[in-house]
Amino acid sequence: MNASDTALDKNKDLVRAFIDALFTKGDLGAVDEYLAEDFVDHDPPFNGPGDREGFRTAGALFREACPDWHSEPDLMIAEDDLVVEHFTAAGTQRGELLGVPAPAGGRPLTLHGTNIFRVRDDHIVERWNRPDELGILRQLGIAP
């Protein structure tokens, strides 16, 4: 393994650790640990703010509505300072999400999507995101 491969694996490990901490373990402090202070989210979830606090809010939103929310990378590819992650996230809705109350017994939800992260100095500095928001809205009964 050459130095370039090692750096690319390190970047993938950083992204994997961040997603696991925030979305699977529900550790909102992961935002401070893994995201640079000047972090920019070019596609913030549900039109939230495009900064660290917007990401923290998204993590809290899903964990409050789905206490068992977890995210699994289906594919991770790294090149230069970028890491592409295709993911599947899922959980059982037990609380209100996007204004929709949970049904008795809960509702299973699944979200697929793709993230592109840019890494600098062992921190994530940018993210571009394409989640299946329409799929979540359909599962919640908001969209046809």
CATH number at residue 68: 3.10.450.50
- Please name the residues in contact with 119: beta carbons below 8 A apart, sequence gap of 6 or more: 11, 14, 15, 81, 82, 83, 125
Q: Domain count of the chain?
A: 1
Give the structural domain span for 17.
3-140
pLDDT of residue 47: 77
Mean pLDDT by 10 residues, the chain (144 residues): 76 97 95 98 87 92 94 96 97 96 97 97 97 94 91
Burial class (CB in 10 A: 0-12, 13-18, 19+), 40: middle
Q: What angle do CA 81, 19, 58 make, to 5 degrees?
A: 110
pLDDT of residue 64: 95
pLDDT of residue 3: 57
Indicate the pTM of the whole model: 0.91
pLDDT of residue 46: 73
